[in-house]
Structure 1
């Protein structure tokens, strides 16, 4: 998270001298990213190939996702910002736009007709006060359930469509020596599990009100009580093997895990290990999330205070990425969904087509709480859910604490 101190420094950045590119004739566009797993590297290579230009070169630099925002913010604050950086929707993006440290993409959006070709919810995520501050490239689906078909065939079971169904089959799966449900051993994955449970027990509108802390005391207490009571029942059947997606994929490939709750990026990892979609593994949505896509997007920002012209970045990087050809290639590699409204999905597999069919339905996209416009709410939820897992708090203790804390900051 960007600190107040950093943003104060960012304000003064606006009057600092620009940094200079080494070769003004063919400048290097430094691209900061946090991609490291198989699907991400494959997708990055597609971007590199698609954005080759005689006007510039693209120079990717990996920064771990936990350090990305701080690193880029410090670079901007000290007057040598990267030309391009991966970023995330939410309050920090909006604040950076307000402070004037990002290039507005409004003119480019008009030239490329973003309003007509890009999905409305994605446009909403990248705009603030009438300005577009980021370039979206895809839609990731976080609430996907990856199914080990061998285990389910062996036990003569079908994947659960609801959490009630999961609780019925989980004891038998566990007794047979398998992990009923696996999630990554990170705060983000624990929150993902809770997110899917909340969505299974409420409407998307209610879920959004929770994320923005707009529920009444009665509504909040009721929803939290339901969700944590159910999480208490699910928790004994959950294994958190590793924080590493590759390690998680290997356990799944070794038939140790019946169900793996994670994002669509898992598909490429499993295929990289030799598993065939529709044969060794399959996909569905998280229990109770049939018509809901808990989503996030890969975004790029283009900081000011850089000598490289936005026109060069537009021609060399932005235009190719928005093209249908690159959208298809990139998202096929990444496991995600294109941001363009009218792309033909026949070239995509059944998992991508499943998500695309959901997205077409009204009110089907639910943002992750990590994209909440309320930083305080995000912090309270993240720390409390972490406490729940690490210190074995009861559902009643969590509900009491969360209700008190969230009502206090309304």
Structure 2
């Protein structure tokens, strides 16, 4: 994107209708729709109108492509949902704005964790507004299969491979998994961390170190990962079969970010009773995070006040608390209330604080926080192909990842 956009002249968009805020996003899950309803209601009370510009696709790839086309044409939306390094990329090209006084930003500095500030600031200014933090390395558990067979919920991958055959023999799906590359890569992310440690995780996903990617350790992780295939299945057809399987009790476990928990709660599951949230095997003590933020685009000068008003709403601690509760996340602001959070949400708050204290916060690669969109696509393609094609060796997959990542550097 950088090479292409750098050749284009930055143009101001036409003035928007007074009080209208066009926002590009990809929030389409039921829990995300309830969160959007909250945002629209709060903005309405300030005389502002949220105009949806929805581009479906949970990872944002389609949305970013549409956004790029509009920005090149000189007609970007007023704001756009973004995650991770792509925020810095857009800011470095001069597309993003910070239409609020520096004094306001100093107030935000005091209540936002360092990993959040680093993700949304460029040259000392907030070019995006962080709204909710997700824990990616959750394992969502339906306790019914475990209770029926009197089995413990596995806390390590060795323990998983002991209980999985018994669950499968009894007719359960041990691990629910959608047939989507981003879900397979989300699973791989947790497998790698659970079998290694935070330092190796950073070597592979953040630094993309060739020695680490081609190491015997990486090969062992890949081999263990593919062994999960015999225990992983969606269990049904239709929309989100992986969610239906865990909800019905046909599946016992599902490794996914906590937005999935929010959707399961909307469908009747009760955290602490019919649904448990535990760290993915081997990842206790780590918090692999995803962060939703809304970047503000440079538009007509007359829109600056409207954008500043949007910032006031999005950064309100009470709003962030309710938004996080609806999305199954935790609020980025440390002064936001956690009243009304379910047991999973409270556990996430505690886990984040503990991981922050011990240097165990890790950016999710699968959910855009650790690397560029292009590098993420490399992992998606190679990991998904490897998982579904047993004829490819683990060594071949590792070499393919490394070669593709190296090609991006030139």
Alpha-carbon distance change, 54 to 225 in structure 1, aligned in 2, over 3 angstroms: closer
In structure 1, C-alpha distance between the alignment counterparts of 2:378 and 2:104, rounded to whole Å: 39
Counterpart of 1:30 (choices 22, 29, 33) is 22
TM-score by length of 2: 0.89
Residues 243-282 of structure 1: pairs in structure 2 closer than 5 A: 246-282=240-276
Q: Indicate how the Cα distance of structure 1 residues 133 and 244 shifts in structure 2: closer, same or farther if over 3 A, else same.
A: farther
Higher mean C-alpha displacement, 286-295 vs 240-249: 240-249
Specify the alignment match of 2:344 in structure 1. Answer: 351
**Against the structure 1 CA distance between its residues 4 and 390, is the aligned structure 2 distance closer, same or farther, given a 3 Å change threshold?**
farther
Equivalent positions of 1:4-403 (< 5 A) are: 4-5=3-4, 7-8=5-6, 11-12=8-9, 14=10, 16-22=11-17, 26-65=18-57, 66-90=61-85, 92-104=86-98, 107=101, 110-111=104-105, 113-213=107-207, 215=209, 217=211, 220-240=214-234, 246-306=240-300, 308-315=302-309, 317-361=310-354, 362-369=358-365, 370-374=368-372, 377-392=375-390, 393-403=392-402
TM-superposed CA distance for 1:409, in Å, is: 6.9
Contact 1:83 / 1:308 at 8 angstroms: preserved in 2?
A: no
Say if 1:181 and 1:149 are closer, same or farther in 2 by CA, change over 3 A: same
The separation in 2 between residues aligned to 1:262 and 1:379, in whole angstroms, is 19
CA gap of 1:376–1:334, structure 2 versus 1, over 3 A, is closer
Q: Deviations along 1:314-355, whole A, 9 cap, x unmatched? A: 12x211221221111111111000101233435311111111
Contact 1:108 1:314 in 2 (8 A): no
Structure 1, gaps ≥5 residues long: none
Where 1:305 maps in the other structure, the secondary structure is: coil
Gaps of 5+ in 2: none
1:375 & 1:87 partners in 2: Cα distance?
11
Shift of 1:292: 1.3
Q: RMSD of aligned C-alpha atoms?
A: 2.5
8 Å contact 2:318–2:337 — kept in the other structure?
A: no
Matches of 2:170 and 2:30, distance apart in 1: 31
Rounded to whole Å, the distance in 1 between the matches of 2:99 and 2:284 is 35
Could you report, residue by residue, the CA deviation over 1:5-57 in whole angstroms, capped at 9, with x for unpaired residues? 3x246x31x2x3530223xxx33111222111111011111111112245532
Count matched residues.
400
Q: 43-52 or 271-280: which moved more? A: 271-280
Secondary structure of the 1:371 match is coil
